[in-house]
């Protein structure tokens, strides 16, 4: 595309992307929890009247690729009018795992009250109830994981539904923080609505809608061209989670990617049945991982819209770990299984384009959730964080060290903020030397994070790559596997990758995260 039409399309692309970016700023600055304010564990996007994604902020890939299913679930149940806000976290009705609450609202209503666009955000709440603080437990069914919210109206015609708010806040450990974060999500939607209304007044709804359609079509053309440049064929790869947190059996993720005529079929039929533990992913998470991988393959400048997925068909059989049925536990599917799906996809595509695909990155978000009673501040607390690791090396460069990779894009909680808000002390936070895989290009190194508990805590760790490290490519070595260690009274105990424990005041938890795989023979 050239000429004035191309200039206008690029103009609208940036105008539209600026809306979810600004929504994200509002959400971060008005939120209460460290998880949203400091770690930035949230995502924002805007959608057209059909609920298809047209612009996303530079936020979390696992949120952004899955959130359209939440928007569609809301649209199917409600005709959102002016002032209405719906929320949902149910993985079997548009959500992914229970701590991720999605808020959806309409924008630019016509005379009949129909929305021309939708705005949505998803934020990871530090606690939504359940059997463990942080709501990321070693559960065997979703009912143990926290409050399950189907699509419901949190705000009706601009007025909060106080009964629903009371139900939600009565089922969480930190109600004041939850109320603040939900209000922050509401205000972020308001900002998105205002900005779209500004654009509509300036350009007209019809012109905006035409450019939204053109952006989706443009993304589709880029993806078809990208797929057309790959050698036709079927490429297979298998990878495994260490275990499901209940048994010690590995959990297989198998994928066959068929490239033909500018289209792709991504088939997970060889994957294991859904697990007893909480590593199950739903279809939305699997689609999010597929969308992320192929969007990366298409290059850095492609518009992140629904058009990217038009040439791609995802086959994820129901009842498998990549498309689990009720009442499967789901807490780690969004965070750990999404990473392994990504690793399997990249391993398959490396057979088609090895010079464009990196070795495996750390492959885990190293999830730490904890909570209890804070004797210094006289209140209950719940906290959740992910810990970064090493990036896989590629033909072009060595892997970066100490970064979040692939399906996560969060920051760390600064030491000062964490120690100010919780009865914790950070004793060490450093790069884990020589944890990246060897090769012509070395993998990035992981992290060592040591947390001292100043009060008794209930702690849950959901981590992976503790038995075998991330794979290298083209002769490169694997990254070092991670390790979790509890130090009590001077004695060290190596923990499983997925574990629940009670800590005492004075205990120290050391999390050593995996390094990335190396690329090429050393």
pLDDT, one tens digit per residue, over 441-482 is 999 999 999 999 999 999 999 999 999 999 999 999 999 999
Q: Please give the pLDDT value at position 300.
A: 81
Kindly state the average pLDDT of the residues 82-96: 95
Kindly state the average pLDDT of the residues 156-167: 97
pLDDT, one tens digit per residue, over 481-506 is 999 999 999 999 999 999 999 999 99
What is the C-alpha separation between 317 and 125, in angstroms, rounded?
30
Kindly state the average pLDDT of the residues 144-166: 97
Q: Please give the pLDDT value at position 59.
A: 83
Q: Please give the pLDDT value at position 301.
A: 83
The proportion of the chain whose per-residue pLDDT surpasses 70, expressed as a percent, equals: 99
- Name the E strands within 378-517: 379-385, 424-432, 446-453, 457-462, 483-488, 491-495, 498-503, 508-512
pLDDT of 182 above 70? yes
pLDDT of 165 above 70? yes
What is the C-alpha separation between 407 and 61, in angstroms, rounded?
5
Phi, psi of 425 (to 5 degrees): -135, 130
Band the pLDDT of 6: cuts 50, 70, 90. Answer: confident
Phi, psi of 158 (to 5 degrees): 85, -5
* Closest among 50, 43, 3 to 25, alpha carbons compared: 43
pLDDT, one tens digit per residue, over 13-30 is 999 999 999 999 999 999
pTM (predicted TM-score): 0.96
pLDDT of 10 above 60? yes
Q: Please give the pLDDT value at position 299.
A: 82
Asked, as a colleague might, if the bond just before 232 is cis with ω within 30 of 0, I would say no
Q: Which two tokens stand for residue 417?
A: 């903020």
Q: What is the DSSP string of 441-471?
A: BPPPPEEEEEEEESS-EEEEEE---SSSPPP
Kindly state the average pLDDT of the residues 148-165: 97
Q: Please give the pLDDT value at position 4.
A: 62
| CB count in 10 Å sphere of residue 243 | 20
pLDDT of 228 above 70? yes
pLDDT of 242 above 90? yes
Q: Which two tokens stand for residue 222?
A: 């880029």
Q: Please give the pLDDT value at position 152.
A: 97
What is the C-alpha separation between 512 and 111, in angstroms, rounded?
58
Collapsed DSSP state (helix, strand, coil) of residue 494: strand
pLDDT of 230 above 80? yes
* Helix H or strand E segment including 344: helix 338-349
pLDDT, one tens digit per residue, over 271-294 is 999 999 999 999 999 999 999 999
Instruction: Break the chain down into helix, strand, coil percent, rounded to 5.
Output: 30, 25, 45
pLDDT of 358 above 70? yes
Q: Please give the pLDDT value at position 472.
A: 98
Any idea where the domains of the chain sit in the sequence?
4-216, 358-522
What is the C-alpha separation between 115 and 159, in angstroms, rounded?
18
pLDDT of 2 above 80? no
pLDDT, one tens digit per residue, over 364-395 is 999 999 999 999 999 999 999 999 999 999 99
Q: Which residues contact 310 (CB under 8 A, 6 or more apart)?
A: 216, 220, 223
Contact 245, 498 (CB under 8 A): yes
Enter the DSSP assignment of 273: B
pLDDT of 1 above 60? no
CA distances from 189 to 66, 103, 134, 150, 408 (A): 18, 8, 25, 19, 22
**N-terminal to C-terminal alpha carbon distance within the chain:** 44
Band the pLDDT of 94: cuts 50, 70, 90. Answer: confident
CA distances from 8 to 11, 15, 56 (A): 5, 10, 19
pLDDT of 138 above 70? yes
pLDDT of 88 above 60? yes
């Amino acid at each position: 595309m050239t000429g004035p039409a191309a200039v206008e399309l690029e103009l609208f692309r940036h105008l539209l992307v600026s809306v979810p970016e600004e929504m994200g700023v509002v959400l971060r600055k008005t939120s209460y929890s460290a998880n949203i304010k400091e770690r930035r564990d949230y995502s924002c996007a805007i959608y057209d009247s059909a609920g298809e994604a047209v612009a996303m902020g530079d936020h979390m890939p696992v949120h952004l690729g899955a959130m359209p299913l939440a928007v569609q679930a809301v649209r199917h149940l409600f005709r959102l009018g002016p002032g209405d806000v719906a929320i949902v976290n149910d993985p079997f009705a548009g959500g992914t795992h229970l701590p991720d609450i999605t808020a959806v609202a309409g924008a630019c209503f016509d005379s009949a009250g129909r929305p021309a666009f939708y705005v949505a955000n998803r934020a990871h709440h530090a606690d939504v109830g359940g059997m463990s603080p942080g709501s990321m437990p070693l559960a065997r069914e979703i009912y143990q994981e926290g409050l399950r919210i189907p699509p419901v109206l949190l705000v009706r015609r601009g007025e909060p539904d106080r009964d629903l708010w009371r139900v939600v806040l009565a089922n969480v450990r930190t109600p004041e923080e939850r109320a603040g974060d939900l209000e922050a999500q509401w205000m972020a939607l308001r900002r998105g609505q205002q900005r779209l209304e500004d654009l509509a007044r300036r350009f007209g709804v019809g012109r905006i809608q035409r450019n939204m359609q053109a952006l989706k079509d443009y993304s589709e053309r880029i993806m078809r061209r990208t797929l057309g440049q790959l050698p036709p064929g079927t490429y297979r790869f298998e990878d495994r989670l260490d275990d499901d947190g209940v048994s010690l059996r590995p959990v297989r993720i198998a994928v066959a990617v068929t490239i033909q005529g500018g289209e792709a079929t991504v088939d997970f039929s060889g994957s294991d049945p859904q697990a007893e533990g909480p590593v199950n992913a739903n279809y939305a998470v699997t689609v999010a991982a597929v969308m992320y991988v192929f969007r990366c393959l298409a290059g850095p400048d492609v518009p992140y819209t629904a058009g990217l997925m038009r040439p791609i068909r995802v086959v994820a059989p129901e009842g498998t770990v990549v498309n689990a049925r009720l009442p499967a536990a789901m807490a780690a599917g969004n965070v750990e299984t999404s990473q392994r799906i990504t690793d399997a996809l990249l391993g398959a595509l490396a057979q088609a384009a090895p010079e464009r695909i990196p070795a495996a990155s750390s492959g885990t978000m190293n999830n730490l959730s904890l909570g209890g009673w804070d004797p210094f501040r006289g209140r209950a607390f719940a906290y959740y964080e992910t810990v970064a690791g090493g990036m896989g090396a590629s033909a072009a460069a060595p892997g970066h060290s100490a970064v979040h990779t692939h399906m996560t894009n969060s920051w760390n909680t600064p030491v000062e903020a964490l120690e100010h808000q919780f009865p914790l002390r950070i004793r060490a936070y450093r790069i884990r030397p020589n944890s990246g895989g060897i090769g012509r290009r070395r993998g990035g190194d992981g992290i060592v994070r040591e947390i001292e508990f100043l009060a008794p805590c209930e702690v849950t760790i959901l981590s992976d790559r503790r038995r075998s490290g991330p794979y290298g490519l083209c002769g490169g070595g694997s990254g070092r596997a991670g390790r979790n260690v509890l130090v009590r009274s001077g004695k060290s105990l190596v923990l499983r990758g997925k574990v629940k424990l009670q800590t005492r005041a004075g205990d120290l938890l050391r999390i050593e995260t995996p390094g990335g795989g190396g690329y090429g023979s050393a």
